[in-house]
């Protein structure tokens, strides 16, 4: 079926997720107010899926933006699909609901659509999102992720969140949850880095076989934040094949980069705090990549992960030691 601006995927719990989401993470060179203003622009141009997280420090502003677009009649609450994320300091079962309630309080909403475990790498439980030791090293913790998942299920049962899922999990970590005794709700999605240079074909196949949606982040090549991302890595939007295809179709590289994932059944997140690009990135429903172009784009994969978070490599649940 042809993709349209209001296309969605049906999640394994029956809820619907719009296929294109607006990303709200930005490095500190942007203000939190810009996140809110950009979220308003995004809703005005047609985005109905908004991806955020307590870790981004902007849920107050993004929540305010959503509520203002509801108040002015642009959208209704049920038109918006909001994703929040449980940060690494809140994975102890008794802290999961605390994390979600903080998100709801900041947003001033009474439920969110999706709550996902931000990463499998737990930190020391407590209010400090980055607990460090005397040497400045993050203090890791290692709760059985299945215990965290049970607490996530309880949040869904309490009506605070419609759907629950995970992020940055490898297939074995997903399997651990899928195979847990007494599983009540499967994760609806795994939100992971995904773009032409890391096309995630194996994880995608795994997810499809388990009715889990793969949601892709850094689709445009990420914000390339210094200290987190290798500044010498190749740029998605400068890739020669992407640019050739874009030129041929009279499209922009960003639109081709998004469309490549959408046509593979991946839900795409795209971040921009520039009005013109916010709009451009939503104009991806009136053209199609041919099978031949898709094949060419498959060919540029390099298994290149921008966000490999080497600093947390020693974590017992570091997800990227596995191939996928
Ligand atoms: P993206 O791949 O979406 O790229 C964002 C960068 O691309 C920004 O620098 C932006 O600049 C620029 N850009 C956007 N549109 C265009 C365009 N049309 N032409 C040229 N440049 C453009 O980055 P993210 O890594 O932020 O991923 C998107 C979202 O995914 C995040 O915002 C967040 O919501 C989520 N995410 C989740 C993670 C997780 O662990 N679960 C990890 C990382 C991201 P500008 O804003 O100035 O326009």
Where in the sequence numbering do the catalytic residues fall? 56
Domains defined along the chain, listed by start: 9-317 (3.20.20.100)
Residue-level pLDDT, tens digit, the chain, 324 residues: 699 999 999 999 999 999 999 999 999 999 999 999 999 999 999 999 999 999 999 999 999 999 999 999 999 999 999 999 999 999 999 999 999 999 999 999 999 999 999 999 999 999 999 999 999 999 999 999 999 999 999 999 999 999 999 999 999 999 999 999 999 999 999 999 999 999 999 999 999 999 999 999 999 999 999 999 999 999 999 999 999 999 999 999 999 999 999 999 999 999 999 999 999 999 999 999 999 999 999 999 999 999 999 999 999 999 999 999
**Residue 126 DSSP label:** S
Nearest Cα residue to atom 16 of ligand 1: 277
pLDDT of residue 1: 63
Centre of ligand 1 to C-alpha 24, Å, is 8
Backbone φ and ψ for 295, nearest 5 degrees, come out as -65, -40
Helix axes 171-178, 145-157, angle to 10 degrees: 60
**C-beta of 219 in contact with ligand 1 (< 6 A):** yes
Cα 2 from Cα 25, distance rounded (Å):
29
Q: Where are the beta strands (DSSP E) in 77-194?
A: 81-86, 112-117, 161-167, 189-193
> What is the b/e burial string over 41-51, where b = at least 16 CB atoms within 10 angstroms of the residue's CB?
bbbebbbbbbb
pLDDT of residue 187: 99
For residue 191, the ligand 1 atom closest to its alpha carbon is 41
**C-beta of 149 in contact with ligand 1 (< 6 A):** no
Nearest Cα residue to atom 44 of ligand 1: 217
Centre of ligand 1 to C-alpha 77, Å, is 25
pLDDT of residue 111: 98
Cα 84 from Cα 115, distance rounded (Å):
5
pLDDT of residue 150: 98
Dihedral (CA of 165, 169, 174, 180) sign: negative
Centre of ligand 1 to C-alpha 175, Å, is 29
């Amino acid at each position: 079926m042809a993709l349209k601006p209001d296309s969605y995927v049906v999640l394994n719990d029956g809820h619907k997720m719009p296929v294109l989401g607006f990303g709200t993470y930005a490095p500190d060179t942007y203000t939190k107010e810009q996140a809110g203003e950009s979220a308003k622009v995004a809703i005005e141009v047609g985005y109905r899926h908004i991806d955020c997280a307590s870790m981004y420090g902007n849920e107050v502003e993004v929540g305010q933006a959503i509520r203002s677009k509801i108040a002015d009649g642009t959208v209704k609450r049920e038109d918006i699909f909001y994703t929040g994320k449980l940060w690494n300091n809140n994975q102890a079962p008794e802290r999961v609901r605390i994390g979600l309630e903080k998100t709801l309080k900041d947003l001033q909403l009474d439920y969110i659509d999706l709550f996902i475990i931000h990463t499998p790498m737990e930190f020391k439980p407590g209010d400090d999102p980055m607990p460090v030791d005397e040497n400045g090293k993050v203090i890791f913790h290692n709760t059985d992720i299945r215990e965290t998942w049970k607490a996530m299920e309880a949040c869904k049962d309490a009506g605070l969140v419609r759907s629950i899922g995970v992020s940055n999990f490898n297939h074995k970590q997903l399997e651990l949850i899928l195979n847990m005794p007494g599983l009540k709700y499967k994760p609806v999605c795994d939100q992971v880095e995904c773009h032409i240079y890391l096309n995630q074909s194996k994880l995608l196949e795994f997810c499809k076989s388990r009715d889990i949606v793969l949601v892709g982040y850094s689709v445009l090549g990420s914000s390339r934040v210094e200290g987190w991302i290798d500044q010498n890595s190749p740029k998605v939007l400068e890739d020669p094949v992407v640019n050739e295809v874009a030129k041929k179709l009279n499209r922009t590289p960003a639109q081709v980069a998004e469309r490549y994932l959408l046509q593979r059944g991946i839900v795409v997140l795209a971040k921009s705090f520039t009005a013109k690009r916010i709009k451009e990135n939503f104009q991806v429903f009136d053209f199609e990549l041919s099978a031949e172009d898709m094949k060419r784009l498959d060919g540029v994969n390099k298994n290149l992960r921008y966000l490999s978070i080497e600093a947390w490599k020693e974590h017992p649940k570091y997800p990227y030691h596995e191939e996928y």
